[in-house]
Structure formats: C-alpha cells, structure tokens
Amino acid sequence: MRHVTAITLALAASIAIAACGGDSPTSPSNLKDTVKVGDVSFSVIRTTLARDFMPIVVNPGPDGGKPLAGTVIVRAGNDGGGTSFALGASVYDASGTRHAVTVAAHDYDQETLFPGRDIIWTGTIGPGRIQWLELRLSGGPYLAVGSRAYVVIDWTEQGGRTGSMRTADVDIGGTY
C-alpha cells in the first residue's frame, strides 16, 4: 500500500509541475551564467548571435541568409593547480528546441596582445590564472532575425568532472 501511495504522490507532483509549466532543476533554461568545475570558475561576460545576409552567401537558408553564428566571451579563473578542459555548445531557441553548433575557443588575451592573429585556446588554464576566452559559434540553425535564443556551454575537465552554464537570452541580429 505504501508503494502505491508513493507512486501516486510522485505522479501527482509531476502533473502539478507540468501544469505550472515548470522546468526540471537540470533543464537548460534553469542553468546559471556561471559554473565551477573543480578549481575553475567560468562566467559568461557577453554574448552575440547573428545571421549574415550579405550579397554573397554560401549555403543560404530558405530566407537567403547564412546559418546562425555568434560569440560568447567567458572569464575562467583557476583557484587551484593547472588543468585542461574540452567544451561543447548548443543553441536553444525561444521554444526550448536544442540546436547543435560548432564551437572554437580562442585565447582572447593573446589575440588582444597580437592583433590580427587567430590564436586557438589549448584548453589549459594554469594555476592561479585568469583566462579570457572568446567562444566562436558557427553552423547554427536558420533562426529568424529578431527572435531570441541562448547558448548552453558544457565543460569537461581532464579528470572527468563536468559542468554546464548558459548565456542570457539574446536577440538574433542580422547583417545586410
């Protein structure tokens, strides 16, 4: 009898959450713009998303524009020893649909010191170091200019620890 009561209560709670439109605590929409993985804290500083409609567009979508692209500036602070990370990213549109994107992390510090150079981040954050990263997104969906979306970034430390964070919702811009 207790087992049936527990199942009934769990089912009732699930229905109540769904009826209120609530997301689960692990839903991408509930993630914060900061995350700590091991000794490293990551924080979103700025996000831009845009579609390109310039006169020469390779691989145009149905509306004539390129797939979604963008940048996310992230501050990473290492409070412990040196460690390495791998990362991935996804874009979520206003309906909550997940879209895969390609992400490349660039060493924002080094590119500032050496203008005009494309310096790919090695994934390593030295002990006690603050690292500024520019995550360049490409190959995204054909979302409408003016619609809103956010980016979820997944970090995996060399030791296997993981963490996820999200940007604020941003308006998708366009270049014409």
Query: Which one-letter amino acid corresponds to residue 147?
Result: S
3-state SS, residue 112:
helix
Same domain? 4 vs 69: no
Same domain? 161 vs 92: yes
Same domain? 81 vs 162: yes
The mean pLDDT of the chain is 83
H/E stretch holding 49: strand 40-52
Quick one: pLDDT at residue 20?
Answer: 39
Quick one: pLDDT at residue 153?
Answer: 97
What is the distance between the alpha carbons of residues 74 and 34, in angstroms, rounded to a whole number?
A: 9
> What is the percent of the chain with per-residue pLDDT over 70, rounded to a whole number?
82
Find the domain containing 3 and state its range.
Answer: 1-26
How many CB atoms are located within 10 Å of the residue 113 CB? Answer: 10
What is the distance between the alpha carbons of residues 121 and 105, in angstroms, rounded to a whole number?
A: 5
Quick one: pLDDT at residue 110?
Answer: 72
**Mean pLDDT of all residues in 64-86:** 92
Same domain? 4 vs 64: no
Same domain? 22 vs 57: no
* φ and ψ at residue 158, rounded to 5 degrees: -55, -30
Quick one: pLDDT at residue 24?
Answer: 52
Same domain? 9 vs 71: no
pLDDT over 90 (residue 56): no
DSSP annotation of 147: -
Total domains in the chain come to 2
